[in-house]
């Protein structure tokens, strides 16, 4: 076993987990040259919910963010999170959209694409894997880790082998809810390292409080890389902190080779930002604690805040415990999907509906029907036929890869948003978040018009002088 690599998540998953993805590009940029020299395996800086948040909340162009980060950290491998056939959106997109998105991501600076599917349906990863290989990127195929009667080490080892056969350059155990406990991690990593001969990375969250111990046991078992966040944005629903792990491994065979003084300097930059987020209420103390019930209900941090929000809107906050108990039951009904975007939202919303209506499945969401119909892919366990019939009636279920039923859509999308396009990537922003993107494009045009008008006014004044 050589030195352990660390992927730094502070510019993506850490702030997605703790402050709903609201860190701006301008807040990140001053720290990036320091991070670029710190000796990380990679910097996770893009993908996941960052794309949506840039357009919807920050009035930023996500593509411009990526280019600025690439320029600020020229020596680092940049990584993104990619939801397979869902890309960064919430539905399946046609293959031509997936391929074009991968092409533009790599062209704008991404090196490693971590590709996952909420159902662990390998068919939903294949187009993104092929496109990444074609563009010369590194394919990291991610196992959405979960616990259920069918999810065991044998299941995950089989999945990892399939991923490698499909072209994965490395494998990530993606533990989005912090469910992987230390000794289970040791066994899983041992078995995976024996079964596949590609680098193995572990990603987890601190939600249940065991994550740093889990990393230590996984490292002892031979994991190659772990995901950490610098301490101002670590723990709670985020990742384990970077600096303590680096200190723990110093002088051992697993030594990361990273310098603690350098890391402290970067952390010092982010500390005032943490205080700012706390004072503004953007970072809630609710996401900073430890909840061992995470292991019981398997609800990721983001999903928990979403459930609370839905209940609050209905004036039913007192029903949270009932909803948490209903989540595993809905999950069983739907074939034990791992709880990660978008399945976490689907299962959570249906559990809320079941509790609020006082009768299970009296009201069924469009997305729950979609899972039963096979629109998202193959569930880990086949959904019982009598349950499927109850939810979708006599509608025929999809058994092929869902994207096989989609016509190419890139040319149509280009025509639809032609009036807004200022760069080739704009069609992809529109493809994923149509109306949200249009609103951003309108604001961008208005800002440009104002700048042009100001320049004309200044020139006129100069002329008269």
Give residue-wise pLDDT tens across range 67-89: 999 999 999 999 999 999 999 99
pLDDT at 452: 64
Is 267:243 a contact under the CB 8 Å cutoff? yes
pLDDT at 244: 98
CA distance 438 to 41: 37
pLDDT at 123: 97
pLDDT at 102: 98
Q: What is the pTM of this model?
A: 0.93
Task: Residue 86: name the closest of 337, 426, 351, 433 by CA.
Answer: 433
Is 262:249 a contact under the CB 8 Å cutoff? no
Q: How far is CA 147 from CA 112, 187, 324, in A?
A: 27, 15, 16
**CA angle in degrees (0–180, nearest 5) for 218-221-227:** 30
CA distance 288 to 17: 10
Residues of the chain with pLDDT under 70: 1, 301-302, 305, 451-465
What is the DSSP-derived secondary structure letter of residue 178?
A: S
Buried b (16+ CB within 10 A) or exposed e, 257-269: ebeeeebeebbeb
Task: Residue 10: name the closest of 287, 276, 234 by CA.
Answer: 234
pLDDT at 450: 77
Is 214:294 a contact under the CB 8 Å cutoff? no
* Tokens read off for 212: 């740093």
pLDDT at 301: 66
Q: What is the dihedral of CA 368, 317, 147, 381, to 10 degrees?
A: -20
First to last CA, the chain: 73
Give the count of beta carbons closer than 10 Å to the beta carbon of residue 127. Answer: 22
φ and ψ at residue 336, rounded to 5 degrees = 55, 50
Task: Residue 114: name the closest of 141, 93, 151, 77 by CA.
Answer: 141
CA distance 82 to 208: 25
Task: Residue 379: name the closest of 363, 387, 95, 49 by CA.
Answer: 387
Q: How many residues does the chain have?
A: 465
């Amino acid at each position: 076993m050589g030195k352990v690599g660390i992927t730094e998540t502070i510019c993506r998953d850490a702030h997605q987990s703790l402050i709903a993805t609201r860190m701006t590009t301008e807040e990140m940029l001053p720290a990036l040259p320091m991070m670029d020299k710190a000796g990380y395996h990679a910097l996770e800086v893009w993908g996941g919910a960052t794309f949506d948040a840039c357009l919807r909340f920050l009035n930023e162009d996500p593509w411009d963010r990526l280019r600025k980060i690439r320029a600020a950290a020229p020596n680092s491998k940049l990584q993104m999170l990619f939801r397979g056939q869902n890309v960064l959106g919430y539905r399946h997109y046609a293959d031509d959209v997936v391929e074009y998105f991968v092409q533009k991501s790599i062209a704008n600076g991404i090196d490693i694409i971590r590709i996952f599917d909420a159902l662990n349906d390998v068919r939903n990863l294949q187009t993104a894997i092929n496109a990444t290989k074609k563009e010369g990127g590194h394919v990291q195929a991610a196992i959405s880790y979960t616990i259920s009667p069918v999810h065991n080490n044998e299941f995950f080892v089989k999945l990892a082998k399939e991923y490698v056969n499909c072209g994965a350059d490395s494998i990530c155990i993606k533990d989005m809810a912090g469910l992987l406990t230390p000794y289970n991690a040791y066994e899983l990593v041992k078995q995976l390292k024996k079964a596949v001969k590609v680098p193995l990375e572990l990603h987890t969250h601190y939600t249940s409080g065991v994550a740093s111990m889990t990393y230590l046991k996984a490292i002892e078992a031979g994991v190659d890389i772990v995901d950490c966040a610098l301490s101002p944005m670590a723990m709670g629903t985020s990742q384990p902190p970077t600096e303590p792990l680096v200190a723990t491994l110093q002088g051992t065979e697993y030594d990361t080779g990273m310098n603690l003084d350098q890391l402290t300097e970067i952390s010092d930059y982010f500390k005032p930002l943490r205080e700012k987020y706390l004072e503004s209420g953007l970072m809630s103390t609710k996401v900073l604690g430890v909840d061992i019930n995470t292991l019981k209900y398997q609800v990721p941090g983001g999903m928990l805040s979403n459930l609370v929000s839905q209940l609050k809107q209905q004036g039913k906050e007192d029903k949270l415990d009932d909803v948490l108990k209903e989540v595993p039951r809905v999950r069983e009904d739907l074939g034990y999907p791992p709880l990660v975007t978008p399945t976490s939202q689907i299962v959570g919303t249906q559990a809320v509906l079941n509790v609020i209506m006082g009768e299970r499945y009296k009201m069924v969401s469009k997305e729950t029907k979609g899972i039963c119909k096979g629109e998202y892919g193959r569930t880990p366990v086949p959904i019982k036929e009598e349950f499927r019939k109850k939810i979708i009636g006599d509608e025929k279920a999809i058994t092929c890869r869902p994207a096989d039923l989609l016509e190419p859509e890139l040319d149509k999308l280009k025509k639809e948003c032609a009036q807004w396009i200022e760069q080739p990537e704009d069609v992809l922003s529109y493809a994923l978040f149509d109306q949200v993107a249009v609103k951003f494009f309108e604001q961008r045009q208005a800002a440009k018009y104002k700048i042009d008008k100001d320049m004309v006014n200044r020139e006129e004044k100069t002329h008269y002088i």
